[in-house]
Structure 1
Amino acid sequence: MPWSNQSGGNGGGPWGQGPRGPWGQGPQGPNNGPTPPNLDDVIRRAQAQLKKFLPVGDNGGRGLIALIIAGLGVIWLFNSAFTVQPDEVGIVTRFGAYQAPPRQSGLNFILWPVEQVQTVRVTRVNQEEIGFRSRGNGRQELPDEALMLTKDENIVSVGFTVSWSVRPDRPQDFVFRIVAPQDAVRAVAESAMREVVGRNNAEDIITKGQAILQGEVTRILQETLDSYSAGIQINAVSVSRPEVPPQVREAFNDVQQAAQDAQTFQNQSRRDANQLLANARADVVQQFQEADSYAKRIAAEAEGEASRFLAVYDQYKNAKDVTRQRIYLETIERVLSGASKTIIDGGAGGNNVQPYLPLPEARRPASPQPTQGSRP
């Protein structure tokens, strides 16, 4: 080498006096630490080891090529073969495009590297807790998720769990259509629960909330995820018992008690109104019946009077004088029967009667004497 010439650079090479390296340090001897291996020696040893595996002679180059091809084949086969577990399906893409159908369980092959595979567990059931988080034997409430507003503007705390899995018939949607499936399920489930709670009163949510919420939330949640083509199947929505938050429980109980009292008064008023209405209807029916009976009685009496008149008229035609005299006497009897009268014999005693004696006044009953304390 040029710097090995002792006549130039004072025998120190291009870095100055003495055997120094490019960083100003000389070779490390036994007293200065371990000496680094020589690069030429390393290359020669590697070539010697490689020659042991290659055939000697003119065919050595061909053997090297064959070895390289064999190694590449092993690498290709290793990357092309894959196993799908019984609870999985394989999603194969060729240059990024999905290749149907999904690969089922067992040994499968792809054309690596132009094809890639991603396995998805379709039978695994995932659980998402909303409104709370399980912590060992207890649970931690999350008011930001659990507190919801009802139709009658009350606040209730609702915690629930969503069980979901990948749809076996659409695993490609789960892989390509959605980025964060857990976050999507949680967001849509909370939105659906708030929608259903907002359509019902607090009393209905607390007393029969599980029956109201579970089915409706499951339906809305599944329909929304299907509209996103998320490839997610909702298995169940389990709602824990809704309750009123402790901060407003006393006020809520007062409102509910007032509502119950108002309902009691309304029911009592309805019962009284129904009773009065029933009595009025009964009175109307009775009056109609009495009027009908009265009309029938008057009609019967009129018919009787007409029949009697006709009978008298027939007798009158047969004996007019006698009948006229009898009618006259009956009429006088009927008229004078209620009159006050005095009969004076026209004999000898009758001449002594004073003509101005107020006989009618004498027959009047005496007026009752006023009792003590009454007005005269």
Structure 2
Amino acid sequence: MAWNEPGKGQDPWGGGNKNNGSGPPDLDQIWRKFRARMSGNKGGSGGPESGGSGGAGGPSPAILLFIIPIALVIWLATGLYVVQPGEKGVVLRFGDYTQTQGPGWHWRIPYPVDRVYKVDTQQVRRAKNRAVMLTKDENIVEVEVAVQYRISDAMNYLFQLREPDATVEQVLRSAVREIVGTSRMNQVIQEGVQVEELEDRALQNVDLKEGSGQPAEKDALQGVDDKLVDEIKAQQESYPEITDRSRAALPENVRKIVQSTLSSYDAGVDVVAINVQYSQPPEQVQGAFEEAIKAREEEERKKNIARAYARDIVARAQGEKARIMLDARGYREQKTARAKGEAQRFTDLLAQYEKAPDVTRERLYLETMGDVLSNANLILAEQGGNGPMMYLPLEKMLNDSRRNKQVENAANDGMNGSQGSDSGNSAGTADSGSNDNRPSSTSRSSDSLRSRDRNS
């Protein structure tokens, strides 16, 4: 029989009857049996061969009551989520902000009702900008500034700005250009340099256009609504004011402007630090700029030397001045005190003179002659006939007498401190005894001379 000859229960491949169990199972038949069981039919009588209608039926209610709770539990379990330490979970319900969750386990209504966005608020993010800019004094500098920031409000960071990280970078670039564009080159490049601008007070409150044929300057806010003017002034007051434009204050000035701008945007970002990593003139003029810096440093060094020399000279002059003033003050006080003493002595002497004029006059004469003759070279000579002339060196005798008295006083002082000075004391006593005749003879000679002078 040909392979395509019709026949009941014949297999064209020689497999015999397909229902006699000798061949592989029929997939269509297995699928029909599975559908019959799911629909609740028994024995497979609902197949297409039997002409039943059970093949189009759905699952039984018992199966549905078993599957639906399990699926609901699984769906609700997908609402569990964990927020890690240092993160914030922003919960949205149908796209609307609901709340912000902290670290730990939380539950939300599963998708598509609620959605959770996790944001790391402890991570320090970075952004930097390097560009060549023009300064206030029309010089070109190259500055590289990096900003470190942290997220402070997760919801504002996610939904207030479209690209918050790019916004931070753009704000940094704007702040750096504002600071550099309103500062001088030395202020931007040299560390700690504060350039003071010269102000001409004569030009303050003076309209230079007055009398030049040009219209005078008018207030830009004149004629504007008062409410709008108040808003503009409030914004100007809230904007940070830059007073110190030195190189050392550059990071702080940039930080103020960046933070103020981001706060006005409600970006949910806090600036941690601003680092100026590079601030130099362009490479083409680097050598010339270094030479200028060396010359400026040499100038400053010379000025410091000159200032030190000037301070030294001024200090010496002031010390000499103080010394001269003290000497003059002492001399004045000395002269004043001596004059007062002389005046008092004369007053006391006058009282004594009034009591005894002759005695006082004699005493004054003797004291005066003693003072005069004590400083003169005295020679006592004898006037004779043709014999030799004898003289006494009174000055030498007086000097020897004074010297002997000093030696005697030193010997008396040493006798109180040591025991071995007895011989020295005896010698000193002998000397003093031998010298006692000289002062006596000297005094007698002086008395005779004074009496001779009185007689003459």
Q: TM-score, normalised by structure 2?
A: 0.44
Q: Distance in 1 between matches of 2:127 and 2:34?
A: 58
Cα displacement (A) at 1:98: 0.8
Does residue 315 in structure 1 map to residue 353 in structure 2?
Answer: yes
How far 1:279 sits from its partner (Å)?
Answer: 2.7
In structure 2, do the counterparts of structure 1 residues 322 and 277 end up closer, same or farther at CA, with 3 Å as the change threshold? closer
Give CA deviations for 1:122-141 in whole Å, capped at 9, x if unaligned.
4555432322xxxxxxxxxx
Cα deviation 1:75-131 (Å, max 9, x = unaligned): x93996464563754422224321113375657432544434434344555432322
Residue of structure 2 in register with 1:245 after alignment: 282
Letter matched to residue 259 of structure 1: R
Match of 1:41 in 2: none
- Determine the C-alpha separation between the residues in 2 that align with 1:234 and 1:109: 32
Query: Is 2:191 aligned against 1:204?
Result: yes
AA aligned opposite 1:275? D
Task: Quote the Cα distance in structure 2 between the aligned partners of 1:316 and 1:110.
Answer: 132
Aligned to 1:281: 318
Confirm or deny: 8 A CA contact 1:80 1:111 kept in the other structure.
Answer: yes
> Cα offset for 1:184?
1.5
Please tell me the root mean square deviation across aligned C-alpha atoms, in Å: 5.0
Q: Is contact 2:92–2:116 with CA below 8 Å preserved after alignment?
A: yes
Contact map agreement 1:210 1:241 (CA 8 A) in 2: no
Aligned partner of 1:228 in structure 2 is 265
Distance in 1 of aligned mates of 2:34 and 2:106: 36
Q: How does 1:181-192 map to 2 (within 5 A)?
A: 181-192=164-175
- Counting only pairs closer than 5 Å after superposition, residues 290-369 of structure 1 correspond to structure 2 as 290-306=327-343, 307-308=345-346, 311=349, 314-315=352-353, 318-319=356-357
Q: Which residue of 2 aligns with 1:261?
A: 298
Secondary structure of the corresponding residue to residue 287 of structure 1: helix
Tell me how far apart the structure 1 counterparts of residues 99 and 324 of structure 2 sit (CA, whole Å).
86
Change in CA separation of 1:153 and 1:322 when aligned onto 2, cut-off 3 Å: same
Residue 356 of structure 1 is matched in structure 2 by none
Q: Does the Cα contact within 8 Å between 1:84 and 1:119 map onto a contact in 2?
A: no
Offset, 1:178: 1.7
Amino acid at match of 1:267: N
Q: What is the CA-CA distance between 1:186 and the residue it aligns to?
A: 0.8
Counterpart contact for 2:160–2:267, Cα < 8 Å? yes
Residue 182 (structure 1) shift: 1.4
Report SS of the residue matched to 1:240: strand
Q: Secondary structure at the match of 1:280?
A: helix
CA contact (8 A) 2:128 2:146 kept: yes
- State the partner residue of 1:10: none
Q: Distance in 2 between matches of 1:282 and 1:89?
A: 72
In 1, Cα distance between the equivalents of 2:59 and 2:81?
Answer: 33
CA distance in 2, matches of 1:321, 1:105: 123
3-state SS of the aligned residue for 2:281?
coil
Q: Residues 304, 227 of structure 1: CA spacing in aligned structure 2 closer, same or farther, 3 A cutoff? A: same
Matched, 1:173 2:173: no
Please, which runs of 5 or more residues in structure 2 have no aligned partner?
1-30, 42-52, 194-245, 369-456
Query: Cα offset for 1:249?
Result: 1.8
Q: Report how far residue 180 of structure 1 moved.
A: 0.7
Residue of structure 2 in register with 1:140 after alignment: none
Q: Using structure 1 for the length normalisation, give the TM-score.
A: 0.51
In structure 1, runs of 5+ residues without a counterpart are 1-46, 132-142, 331-376
Q: Distance in 1 between matches of 2:318 and 2:102?
A: 79
Q: Name the aligned partner's letter for residue 75 of structure 2.
A: L
Distance 2:302 2:247 in 1: 30
Cα pair distance change 1:107/1:250, threshold 3 Å:
same
Question: Would you say the 8 A contact 1:210–1:240 is kept in 2?
Answer: no
In the superposition, relative to structure 1, how do residues 294 and 122 fare at CA in structure 2: closer, same or farther (>3 Å)?
A: closer
TM-fit CA distance, 1:278: 1.8
Task: State how many pairs are aligned.
Answer: 263
Q: 2: CA distance between counterparts of 1:176 and 1:121?
A: 15
CA gap 1:290/1:90 in 2 versus in 1, 3 angstroms: closer
In the TM superposition, residue 264 of structure 1 has moved relative to its aligned partner by 2.6
1:276, distance to aligned residue in structure 2 (A): 3.1
SS in 2 for 1:91: strand
Secondary structure (helix, strand or coil) at the match of 1:179 reads coil
Name 1:18's counterpart in structure 2: none
